[in-house]
Amino acid sequence: EAGVTQFPSHSVIEKGQTVTLRCDPISGHDNLYWYRRVMGKEIKFLLHFVKESKQDESGMPNNRFLAERTGGTYSTLKVQPAELEDSGVYFCASSQEWGYRDGYTFGSGTRLTVV
Amino acid sequence: AQSVTQLGSHVSVSEGALVLLRCNYSSSVPPYLFWYVQYPNQGLQLLLKYTSAATLVKGINGFEAEFKKSETSFHLTKPSAHMSDAAEYFCAVSEGNQFYFGTGTSLTVIP
């Protein structure tokens, strides 16, 4: 089966611009997660979708970040306007119902650099 | 909230030597624990997981980890390092719908 796909793999944008990251989860996985790793620190939770609904967005840094999941399939994470501190690697993951026990399948990540 | 501590952000071992990557977690209840590995230019790959079935867990590529409740530890080991083991390793614990990760340990294997 195809894994979790993220694109772009890399993005370099200027401060103040807008960037949209996309994630295609494994087919049939209702749960979709976004995580972020900033500057070699720990990977941190951003939010969790169950199908098209936001189950938990407690990790979203601020209102410059907007996540959507159209029709419960792919998801996008938009940063508008981007700031320097938004640089990092953004990971998407998906799982079936028992992801907290069985583990998630992660994508390769999008490396975002804001200059 | 959970916290995960990985001692040593960088570990170097000689090819054929023992690999030991340390992980300690904070949890007052039996946790679900995981080790993930990230090879260069790839995503996070599940190496192994502890789900309370057995304290010694075997994963892929010859890695294993032992859950020690008294020490709140879940250290990752491999008896003999191979060049292909060079990667970054992340320990994680799940709570609710979130995974809490350590800061990662970059493993270098010296020929």
A2: confidence class by pLDDT, cuts 50, 70, 90 = confident
Tens-place pLDDT, residues B49-94? 998 778 899 999 999 999 998 899 999 999 999 999 999 999 999 9
Residue A46: closest C-alpha in chain B: B98
Name the residue among B4, B42, B98 with its Cβ closest to that of A108: B42
pLDDT at residue number A40: 78
SS3 for B20-67 is EECCEEECCCCCEEEEEEECCCCCEEEEEEECCCCCEEECHHHCEEEE
Q: How far is A12 from chain B (nearest CA, A)?
A: 17
Strand boundaries in chain A, DSSP class E: 5-7, 10-13, 19-24, 31-37, 43-50, 53-56, 65-69, 75-79, 88-95, 105-106, 110-114
- Which residues, numbered 56 to 95 in chain B, qualify as contacts with chain A under a Cβ-Cβ cut-off of 8 Å? 90, 92, 94-95
Tens-place pLDDT, residues A34-68? 999 998 789 999 999 999 999 999 999 999 999 99
Q: How many residues does chain B have?
A: 111
pLDDT at residue number A39: 82
Task: Please compute, for residue B91, the number of CA atoms within 13 A of its CA located in the half-sphere on the CB side.
Answer: 31
Residues 6+ apart with CB under 8 A from A28: A96
pLDDT at residue number A9: 95
Over residues A72-80, the mean pLDDT reads 95
Which helix (H) or strand (E) is A102 found in, with range? Answer: helix A99-102
A88 touches chain B (CB under 8 A): no
The tokens describing A34, both together, are: 């976004």
Q: Which residues from B are below 8 Å from A56, CB to CB? A: 96-98
Mutation target vs A (from B26, B99, B105, B106; most A CBs, 10 A cutoff): B99
- What share of chain A in percent tops pLDDT 90? 86
CA–CA gap between residue B108 and residue B83 (Å, rounded): 8
CA–CA gap between residue B63 and residue B45 (Å, rounded): 13
Q: Which residues from A are below 8 Å from B31, CB to CB? A: none
Q: Do B99 and A45 touch (CB under 8 A)?
A: yes
CB B108 within 8 A of CB B95: no
Tens-place pLDDT, residues B29-44? 767 999 999 998 888 9
Tell whether the model's pLDDT for residue A72 goes beyond 70. yes
pLDDT at residue number A1: 63
The tokens describing B54, both together, are: 């057995």
CB B45 within 8 A of CB B39: yes
Mutation target vs A (from B25, B35, B98; most A CBs, 10 A cutoff): B98
More confident residue, B1 or A19: A19
B42 touches chain A (CB under 8 A): yes
